[in-house]
Amino acid sequence: MAPAKSESGLPDSTARSSAIMAAGTLVSRLLGLIRVALLATAIGTVGQVSDLFTAANNLPNFIYLMVAGGVFNAVLVPQIIKASRLPDRGADYVSRLMTLGAAALLVLTILITLAAPVIVALVTDVSGARLALTVTFAYWCLPQIFFYGMYAIVGQVLNAHGSFGPYMWAPVVNNVVSIGFLLVFISLMGTEQAALHTPESWSQTQTALLAGGATLGIVLQAAVLFWPLRRLGLGLRPRFGLRGTGLGHTGKLASVTIVTMLVGNGLYLINQKIATIASEARESYLQRDPPEVIAGLTNLEIGSMVYVLPHSVIALSLATVMFNQLASAHTDKDLRAVKATLSRGLRTIGVATVFSAAVLLALAGPLGMLFSGGSAAGGAINAMVISILAVGAPFLSANFFLNRVFYAAEDVVTPLKIQLILSTLGVSFALTAGLFAPDLIVPLLAVSYSLANILAVLISHLFLTRSIGKYGAGRIFDVHVRLTVAGIISAAAGTAVITLFGGYQPTAFLWQSPFAAVVVLAVGGSVMLLVYLLGLKVLRVRELRDFLEPLKSRLPRTLS
């Protein structure tokens, strides 16, 4: 019997799962925004310590993604789905997988943590007391690698068995813990605006509260997943050995994927090193008459966090659920279903990502101020970076979904080819940005991000059509044109709201505090949403119904 479908054509299970995942991700991301706002309050965004902590705390995530993330998040899902169809529901396979994964992650984490001074020197461009403090932060943060890996392994086992919610809700724990530690830090050590933290005045207590709190959050994020894993009733236990499990085939796929992730995330580390050129020069700009504030690594990270938010909440949730459908369709050799899922996914995701790009462009000012720690100068710098990154936001989600098709077919070579092309372009962009004056480096890196996202869609499309043929790109393009028209009209309305608040004057209301920025965001965002929805209705964009269906499915029947 075919699975029941919602009015939009999405299977009911997909609608429910994507809504649960989106809700969990939304709560987590909202808490994450609070965490980042508190972090900006604690150590600032244009001060002398913020970029150092950002550089060190980025390392475990980037290194994990480089050596293992692609394997756990893409290659293993089709393998676990296959194993789940066996008489033991994949218990033997998953037991061996988790045992091997935990052992490999532990060894990797120990070796990398011991190499912290060498790694920090390679991926940053700071010196003296700034370098020493960055290395200290790295010692505290690098153990996160092991727990990122365990979170991914357990999460993908849960996803493959249809338990999507815990994987998306677990980061809530991480953010709550981090927020608690930041509040203690601010209470005991003061804010950046009041204390003006420097590497020379920094203490071990401050390190423990800042970096220790961040790491403890990641530990608990992984730990909470073991409870829903146990509820699956698989009877998992430590087991060594690969013979007869299919892990040998997985290893062959993984080896190519590791290279892909090394290339892709290696580019991010190069971008970080280039961005810290500006961080190292920041003090000299502050000593000028008059003092100048320039963008550094933290501003680039805040801009990236804001522009990735729609992708994380909407696109990633829907794509994760649809990835299982793509994998099943490939297993059944149903190419028609693959194309239909791809087309529907790209059109549905576009409803959210195009509007989000319009919001990022029109409301970049209050968004930047929200994560400035109360500094108007920092808010303006953040806004500049956000507005540049906004252009490439819809393309980020589109390219992610396009690449899921290759991984669902267990094709790991094509994504590697695509990543090699994009990384070559990215390295060229980054090295070029590094040739400019320090105050221009981060804005130019933001431009390179947007260009890379646009080029990524074009390149992935070319490879995909060679692989599966036409998949309705013309219809997808037509829908996105109408979405873009509605988005432009919505952005104009948002700009009008900013103008009414005097947002383009340095003494305007929105630059007074993060709270003022929230007020402007609430008013401007509401106006933009109403205008956008009206525009979609006038332009007859039916995909709005597909996008809203997962949300309606979670409402009580009396309200839906």
The 3-state DSSP class for residue 5 equals strand
389-404 mean pLDDT: 91
Question: What per-residue confidence (pLDDT) applies to 234?
Answer: 75
Q: 240 or 28: whose pLDDT is higher?
A: 28
Mean pLDDT, the chain, rounded, equals 85
Element (H, E) at 142: none
- What confidence tens digit (pLDDT) does each residue in 469-507 have? 898 888 999 999 999 999 999 999 999 999 988 877 878
Q: What is the dihedral of CA 255, 259, 260, 265, to 10 degrees?
A: 130
Query: Tokens representing 322?
Result: 């649809």
Which amino acid is residue 64, in one-letter code? Y
Instruction: Quote the pTM value.
Output: 0.81
Which residues, including other chains, have CB under 8 Å from residue 535's CB and lie 6 or more apart? 485, 486, 487, 489, 490
The 3-state DSSP class for residue 118 equals helix
Query: Tokens representing 484?
Result: 């873009």
Question: What per-residue confidence (pLDDT) applies to 384?
Answer: 95
Distance CA 298, CA 149 (A): 25
Going from N- to C-terminal start, the domains of the chain cover 12-551
- The proportion of the chain whose per-residue pLDDT surpasses 90, expressed as a percent, equals 49
Which residues, including other chains, have CB under 8 Å from residue 470's CB and lie 6 or more apart? 339
140-166 mean pLDDT: 85
Q: 545 or 389: whose pLDDT is higher?
A: 389
Which residues, including other chains, have CB under 8 Å from residue 301's CB and lie 6 or more apart? 54, 58
Q: Would the pLDDT of 554 be above 50? A: no
Question: What per-residue confidence (pLDDT) applies to 371?
Answer: 93
- What confidence tens digit (pLDDT) does each residue in 202-219 have? 999 999 999 999 999 999
Are the C-beta atoms of residues 170 and 151 closer than 8 Å to each other?
yes
Question: What per-residue confidence (pLDDT) applies to 542?
Answer: 86
Angle of the 376-390 helix axis to the 335-362 helix axis, nearest 10: 150
422-444 mean pLDDT: 94
DSSP string, 480-547: HHHHHHHHHHHHHHHHHHHHHTTTTSTT-GGGS-HHHHHHHHHHHHHHHHHHHHHHHHHTT-THHHHH
DSSP string, 177-210: HHHHHHHHHHHHH--HHHH---TTT--HHHHIII
Are the C-beta atoms of residues 352 and 19 closer than 8 Å to each other?
no
Q: Would the pLDDT of 17 be above 80? A: no
